Amino acid sequence: MAAELSTPARQVLIALMVRAERVSNPDLRKAYRIEITKAVREELAAAGLLVFEKGPRNAIFHELTDRGWARARREFRCPPPERVSGAWLLHYATLRHLAGLLDRTDRQIADVFTEPDRGPGTGTGTGSIEDRILDAYRELAEKPGDLVGLVALRQRLTGVDRTDQDRALAGLDRRREIHLDPDPARHELTPDAHDAAILIGGEAKHLITIGRP
């Protein structure tokens, strides 16, 4: 039932679903004029719906867990929270129509929201960066399924902002087009290899693989 979460928590759940990536409060304020308070962060984390971690300049980055994505999908059929603005009423009406479309076409929520939304006026997605990631892997790997260090892969992405790299990697991993894994010999990694890691679900991932060996 919708009552299991507070109204602010439900709104944050929807925002993180639409955003479809690790996101900080400054990003959320810029894109949607909302932010994740400590109380809401703890509410969602306690329910296993959200993970968070500190990033550069002590900014806190948030991302939905698999359970969070499933709970966000339930919002499509939930009544809107009480005492919200007309914009949120329209939003939930739209979600109900979208739920019907997904059911009729046998589509999944990932088909709609795994391409990150950066908010108004922020570009058209990460397709070209994703292509460069896939190309870089093919250049570095001897065969499909080989493990390649992110430190080597990032060296092939010259001119691409680190944030955009992380966004593209996370999207590819979420869609299972690539697999990101931690290095089992983390104590042997160089500082550059540690720095090149990406945090997914609160865990540092140092390696990328595509396909089967």
Using one digit for the tens of pLDDT, what is the confidence trace for 43-100?
999 999 999 988 766 788 898 888 888 898 888 888 888 888 888 888 889 888 888 8
pTM: 0.54
Alpha-helical regions (H) of the chain:
7-19, 25-32, 38-46, 66-74, 86-105, 110-113, 127-140, 150-155, 162-174, 191-196
- Domains delineated in the chain: 2-113 (1.10.10.10), 127-209 (1.10.10)
Among 14-18, 26-30, 97-101, 126-130, whose mean pLDDT is lowest?
126-130
CA–CA separation, 167 and 178 (whole Å): 13
> Is the separation of the CB atoms in 167 and 157 below 8 Å?
no
Instruction: State the pLDDT at residue 49.
Output: 93
Instruction: State the pLDDT at residue 36.
Output: 95
pLDDT band at 212 (very low <50, low <70, confident <90, very high): low
Q: Is 23 helix (H, G, I), strand (E, B) or coil?
A: strand
Instruction: State the pLDDT at residue 1.
Output: 40
**CA–CA distances in Å: residue 188 to residues 117, 148, 184, 192, 205:** 37, 16, 9, 12, 14
Token pair of 38 as six digits: 């400590």
The mean per-residue pLDDT over the stretch 12-33 comes to 86
Distance, C-alpha 104 to centroid of its chain: 26
DSSP classification of residue 161: -
Using one digit for the tens of pLDDT, what is the confidence trace for 145-181?
899 999 999 998 887 888 889 999 998 988 888 999 9
Cβ contacts of 89 within 8 Å, gap of 6 or more: 80
